[in-house]
Amino acid sequence: MKGTILKCLHEMVRERYGEAKWDAIVVAAGAPSGTLYFPSQDVPEDVAMRVLASAAPVLRMSTGQVYDAFAAHWVDVYAPKIYRRFYEGATSAREFLLSLDRIHDVVTRSIEGATPPRFTYQWVDARTLRMTYRSERGLLDLFEALALALGRHFGEELRTRQIGRDVLEVIFPSEGPTELPR
Ligand code: HEM
């Protein structure tokens, strides 16, 4: 997995809980004390998943609480800074979610061996979107937390529901465009 996820986690933990907690997380994951990650770095899958999983016990939070805090930091602070171009012109969570597959494709296209999550779309009605999440990592809970954070970012109260292990249903507060942006 790209180091960008862990870099964002580090930023969030440092800002909310202090640098010592970050160090405790990497150590609990079996990495050396003082480990830092860089956005373009390729982090072995098992290490990345262990660091993600270590945050909850170290911070004495549930995994869901860690994902919510991570998602808020990613959507409101980290991604607007690092990936500003995707926020320019984006006006709604609906638009952003419809661009999500393209965003992950574009960001990782030039990175050899990258395996970003991919998304396909199915509208149930004008307010209800089913997104199929495809990733070996099985992070549907994280996907859901990020989708809800995106709604809050744009001031929209989204409702979500997981269907099985790879579908997230998103209900938007109002009707709007359903086409994928070009
Ligand atoms: C500007 C916005 C975004 C950019 C540039 C971006 C980019 C990335 C990148 C580079 C990764 C690591 C992929 C890899 O290592 O193979 C990633 C992972 C991920 N992204 Fe995004 N992302 C963005 C927003 C979002 C949003 C809003 C969601 C969900 C609503 C989302 C869902 C995920 C998930 C669930 C992962 C974890 C990896 C996985 O499940 O396989 N992303 N993203």
Ligand 1 binding pocket includes 71 (Cβ within 6 Å): no
Tell me, in angstroms, the distance from the centre of ligand 1 to residue 104's CA. 6
Ligand 1 centre to CA of 107 (Å) is 9
Distances (CA, A) of 58 to 10, 46, 89, 141, 164: 13, 18, 38, 19, 29
Which ligand 1 atom sits nearest the alpha carbon of residue 135?
A: 41
Q: Which of 146, 148, 158, 172 to mutate to test the pocket of ligand 1 (most atoms within 8 A of CB)?
A: 146
**145, 71 in Cβ contact below 8 A?**
yes
Compute the distance between CA of residue 67 and CA of residue 171 in angstroms, rounded to an integer.
Answer: 20
Q: Which pLDDT value is given to residue 177? A: 83
Query: Cα–chain-centroid distance for residue 17?
Result: 20
Locate 103 and state its tokens.
């965003």
Average pLDDT value over all residues in the chain: 95
Check if 69 has its Cβ closer than 6 Å to any atom of ligand 1: no
pLDDT at residue 143, as a whole number: 98
Residue spans of the domains in the chain: they are 3-82, 92-171
**Residue range 138-181, pLDDT digits in tens:** 999 999 999 999 999 999 999 999 999 999 999 999 998 888 77
State the amino acid at position 69 in one-letter form: A
Give yes or no for residue 50 having a pLDDT over 80: yes
pLDDT surpasses 70 at 182: no
* pLDDT confidence tier of residue 34, bands split at 50, 70 and 90: very high
**pLDDT tier, 112 (very low <50, low <70, confident <90, very high otherwise):** confident
pTM of the model: 0.96
Q: 44: Cβ–Cβ under 8 A, 6 or more apart, which residues?
A: none
User: Quick one: pLDDT at residue 110?
Assistant: 79
Q: Which residues of 137-159 are buried (b: 16+ CB within 10 A; e: fewer)?
A: bebbebbbbbbbbbbbbeeeebe
Check pocket membership of 171 for ligand 1, CB cut-off 6 A: no
Q: What's domain 3-82's superfamily in CATH?
A: H-NOX domain (3.90.1520.10)
d(CA 66, CA 6): 13
The whole-number pLDDT of residue 180 equals 79
% of the chain residues with pLDDT over 90? 89
Q: What class does CATH assign to 92-171?
A: alpha beta
In this chain, the answer to whether the domains covering 3-82 and 92-171 adopt an identical fold is yes
The one-character DSSP state at 24 is H
User: For the chain, where are the E strands, in sequence order?
Assistant: 118-125, 128-134, 159-163, 167-171
Ligand 1 atom 20 nearest Cα: 117
State the pLDDT confidence band at 125, using cuts at 50, 70 and 90: very high
| pLDDT given for residue 176 in this prediction | 86
Examine the pLDDT at 55 and tell me if it is beyond 70.
yes
